[in-house]
Amino acid sequence: MNALLKLSRFIDGVTDRIGQLVSWGILAAVLISSGNASYRYIMNNSSNAWLELQWYLFSAVFLLCAGYALLHNSHVRIDVIAGRLSKRTQMWIDIFGTVFFLLPMAILIMWLAWPVFMNAYVHDEVSSNAGGLKIWPARLLMPVGFFLLIFQAVSEIIKRVAFLQGLIPDPTEKREVSAEEELAEEIRKMHGGKP
Protein backbone atom coordinates (compact mmCIF):
# COMPACT_ATOMS: atom_id res chain seq x y z
CA MET A 1 0.00 0.00 0.00
CA ASN A 2 2.94 2.36 0.60
CA ALA A 3 3.85 2.23 -3.10
CA LEU A 4 0.25 3.04 -4.03
CA LEU A 5 0.19 5.96 -1.58
CA LYS A 6 3.41 7.24 -3.13
CA LEU A 7 1.76 6.97 -6.57
CA SER A 8 -1.29 8.80 -5.17
CA ARG A 9 0.89 11.64 -3.84
CA PHE A 10 2.61 11.88 -7.23
CA ILE A 11 -0.76 12.04 -9.03
CA ASP A 12 -2.03 14.63 -6.54
CA GLY A 13 1.09 16.74 -7.12
CA VAL A 14 0.72 16.59 -10.91
CA THR A 15 -3.00 17.37 -10.71
CA ASP A 16 -2.41 20.27 -8.33
CA ARG A 17 0.31 21.76 -10.54
CA ILE A 18 -1.81 21.43 -13.69
CA GLY A 19 -4.80 22.98 -11.93
CA GLN A 20 -2.78 25.94 -10.71
CA LEU A 21 -1.22 26.54 -14.14
CA VAL A 22 -4.42 26.10 -16.14
CA SER A 23 -6.40 28.33 -13.79
CA TRP A 24 -4.42 31.26 -15.21
CA GLY A 25 -6.42 30.61 -18.38
CA ILE A 26 -9.36 32.32 -16.67
CA LEU A 27 -7.40 35.55 -16.39
CA ALA A 28 -6.21 35.23 -19.99
CA ALA A 29 -9.77 34.61 -21.20
CA VAL A 30 -11.07 37.63 -19.28
CA LEU A 31 -8.31 39.88 -20.66
CA ILE A 32 -8.87 38.63 -24.21
CA SER A 33 -12.63 39.05 -23.86
CA SER A 34 -12.40 42.59 -22.52
CA GLY A 35 -9.70 43.53 -25.04
CA ASN A 36 -11.73 42.18 -27.94
CA ALA A 37 -14.90 43.93 -26.72
CA SER A 38 -13.03 47.23 -26.25
CA TYR A 39 -11.45 46.96 -29.69
CA ARG A 40 -14.85 46.19 -31.22
CA TYR A 41 -16.47 49.32 -29.68
CA ILE A 42 -13.53 51.68 -30.16
CA MET A 43 -12.43 50.61 -33.65
CA ASN A 44 -15.78 49.22 -34.82
CA ASN A 45 -14.02 45.98 -35.73
CA SER A 46 -13.59 42.56 -34.12
CA SER A 47 -11.86 39.25 -34.58
CA ASN A 48 -13.41 35.78 -34.59
CA ALA A 49 -10.01 34.34 -33.74
CA TRP A 50 -9.89 36.23 -30.44
CA LEU A 51 -13.44 35.17 -29.62
CA GLU A 52 -12.61 31.52 -30.36
CA LEU A 53 -9.40 31.74 -28.35
CA GLN A 54 -11.47 32.92 -25.39
CA TRP A 55 -13.77 29.88 -25.83
CA TYR A 56 -10.74 27.57 -26.04
CA LEU A 57 -9.36 28.97 -22.80
CA PHE A 58 -12.66 28.52 -20.95
CA SER A 59 -12.87 24.96 -22.30
CA ALA A 60 -9.29 24.27 -21.20
CA VAL A 61 -9.98 25.49 -17.67
CA PHE A 62 -13.18 23.47 -17.39
CA LEU A 63 -11.82 20.22 -18.85
CA LEU A 64 -8.25 20.26 -17.56
CA CYS A 65 -9.26 21.27 -14.03
CA ALA A 66 -11.89 18.55 -13.48
CA GLY A 67 -9.27 16.38 -11.77
CA TYR A 68 -8.18 19.40 -9.73
CA ALA A 69 -11.75 19.86 -8.48
CA LEU A 70 -11.89 16.16 -7.58
CA LEU A 71 -8.57 16.41 -5.74
CA HIS A 72 -9.76 19.34 -3.64
CA ASN A 73 -13.19 17.80 -3.07
CA SER A 74 -14.74 20.82 -4.80
CA HIS A 75 -16.97 18.83 -7.12
CA VAL A 76 -20.73 18.71 -6.73
CA ARG A 77 -21.96 16.24 -4.12
CA ILE A 78 -25.45 15.34 -3.08
CA ASP A 79 -25.02 14.43 0.57
CA VAL A 80 -28.65 14.43 1.67
CA ILE A 81 -28.37 10.81 2.80
CA ALA A 82 -24.64 10.03 2.63
CA GLY A 83 -23.78 13.03 4.82
CA ARG A 84 -25.59 11.35 7.71
CA LEU A 85 -23.73 8.05 7.35
CA SER A 86 -20.46 7.11 9.01
CA LYS A 87 -17.21 8.23 7.42
CA ARG A 88 -16.34 4.61 6.55
CA THR A 89 -19.66 4.16 4.73
CA GLN A 90 -19.11 7.44 2.88
CA MET A 91 -15.69 6.17 1.75
CA TRP A 92 -17.27 2.96 0.47
CA ILE A 93 -19.88 5.00 -1.42
CA ASP A 94 -17.09 7.12 -2.95
CA ILE A 95 -15.16 4.01 -4.01
CA PHE A 96 -18.29 2.41 -5.48
CA GLY A 97 -19.29 5.61 -7.31
CA THR A 98 -15.79 6.16 -8.67
CA VAL A 99 -15.30 2.57 -9.84
CA PHE A 100 -18.76 1.98 -11.30
CA PHE A 101 -19.77 5.46 -12.50
CA LEU A 102 -16.93 8.01 -12.74
CA LEU A 103 -14.26 5.77 -14.27
CA PRO A 104 -16.48 4.06 -16.89
CA MET A 105 -17.98 7.42 -17.94
CA ALA A 106 -14.59 9.15 -18.16
CA ILE A 107 -12.97 6.23 -20.02
CA LEU A 108 -15.85 6.08 -22.50
CA ILE A 109 -15.79 9.83 -23.20
CA MET A 110 -11.99 9.82 -23.56
CA TRP A 111 -12.19 6.84 -25.92
CA LEU A 112 -14.94 8.44 -28.03
CA ALA A 113 -13.26 11.86 -28.10
CA TRP A 114 -9.90 10.59 -29.38
CA PRO A 115 -11.05 9.82 -32.98
CA VAL A 116 -12.83 13.19 -33.12
CA PHE A 117 -9.56 14.91 -32.22
CA MET A 118 -7.54 12.76 -34.65
CA ASN A 119 -9.96 13.52 -37.50
CA ALA A 120 -9.65 17.27 -36.86
CA TYR A 121 -5.86 17.00 -36.60
CA VAL A 122 -5.34 14.83 -39.71
CA HIS A 123 -7.60 17.02 -41.82
CA ASP A 124 -6.20 20.24 -40.31
CA GLU A 125 -9.77 21.32 -39.62
CA VAL A 126 -10.33 25.06 -39.29
CA SER A 127 -13.31 26.89 -37.85
CA SER A 128 -16.02 27.78 -40.33
CA ASN A 129 -16.02 31.35 -38.98
CA ALA A 130 -14.11 33.94 -41.00
CA GLY A 131 -10.66 34.30 -39.45
CA GLY A 132 -11.34 31.38 -37.12
CA LEU A 133 -8.74 29.14 -35.49
CA LYS A 134 -7.68 25.56 -36.06
CA ILE A 135 -10.06 23.20 -34.30
CA TRP A 136 -7.78 20.35 -33.28
CA PRO A 137 -6.35 22.05 -30.14
CA ALA A 138 -9.88 22.46 -28.77
CA ARG A 139 -10.75 18.88 -29.69
CA LEU A 140 -7.61 17.62 -27.93
CA LEU A 141 -8.83 19.15 -24.66
CA MET A 142 -11.59 16.53 -24.33
CA PRO A 143 -9.49 13.33 -24.27
CA VAL A 144 -6.70 15.00 -22.29
CA GLY A 145 -9.12 16.44 -19.74
CA PHE A 146 -10.82 13.09 -19.19
CA PHE A 147 -7.45 11.32 -19.00
CA LEU A 148 -6.45 13.70 -16.20
CA LEU A 149 -9.78 13.05 -14.47
CA ILE A 150 -9.19 9.28 -14.68
CA PHE A 151 -5.66 9.79 -13.37
CA GLN A 152 -7.02 11.67 -10.33
CA ALA A 153 -9.87 9.20 -9.79
CA VAL A 154 -7.29 6.42 -9.37
CA SER A 155 -5.55 8.52 -6.71
CA GLU A 156 -8.86 9.11 -4.91
CA ILE A 157 -9.59 5.37 -4.81
CA ILE A 158 -6.13 4.71 -3.36
CA LYS A 159 -6.63 7.34 -0.66
CA ARG A 160 -10.05 6.04 0.33
CA VAL A 161 -8.79 2.45 0.58
CA ALA A 162 -5.83 3.68 2.66
CA PHE A 163 -8.24 5.56 4.94
CA LEU A 164 -10.36 2.43 5.38
CA GLN A 165 -7.18 0.56 6.36
CA GLY A 166 -6.35 3.28 8.90
CA LEU A 167 -3.18 4.37 7.10
CA ILE A 168 -4.09 8.02 6.42
CA PRO A 169 -6.48 10.65 7.79
CA ASP A 170 -9.76 11.47 6.07
CA PRO A 171 -8.87 12.51 2.49
CA THR A 172 -12.16 14.37 2.07
CA GLU A 173 -11.54 16.67 5.02
CA LYS A 174 -11.22 20.23 3.78
CA ARG A 175 -8.66 22.13 5.77
CA GLU A 176 -9.27 25.82 5.40
CA VAL A 177 -5.98 27.68 5.54
CA SER A 178 -5.97 31.41 6.06
CA ALA A 179 -3.72 33.63 3.98
CA GLU A 180 -1.61 34.29 7.07
CA GLU A 181 -1.13 30.58 7.74
CA GLU A 182 -0.20 30.00 4.11
CA LEU A 183 2.37 32.83 4.24
CA ALA A 184 3.83 31.50 7.51
CA GLU A 185 4.17 28.04 5.95
CA GLU A 186 5.96 29.48 2.91
CA ILE A 187 8.36 31.38 5.17
CA ARG A 188 9.03 28.19 7.16
CA LYS A 189 9.79 26.33 3.93
CA MET A 190 12.21 29.08 2.86
CA HIS A 191 14.07 28.80 6.16
CA GLY A 192 14.31 25.02 6.10
CA GLY A 193 11.30 24.35 8.31
CA LYS A 194 12.49 26.53 11.19
CA PRO A 195 10.14 29.19 12.65
d(CA 30, CA 134): 21
Q: Does any domain span residue 149?
A: yes
State pTM to two decimals: 0.81
Q: Which of 48-62, 93-107, 177-191 has the lowest mean pLDDT?
A: 177-191
Q: Which domain holds residue 167?
A: 2-190
Q: Does any domain span residue 195?
A: no
Q: How confident is the model at residue 179 (pLDDT cuts 50, 70, 90)?
A: low
Number of domains the chain contains: 1
Mean pLDDT of the chain: 88
CA 154 and chain centroid, separation? 14
Helices 48-64/2-22 angle, 10° precision = 160
> Which of 39, 157, 48 is CA-nearest to residue 99?
157
Q: Does any domain span residue 50?
A: yes
Residue 147 in this model has a pLDDT that exceeds 90: yes
Q: Does any domain span residue 9?
A: yes
- What share of the chain in percent tops pLDDT 90? 55
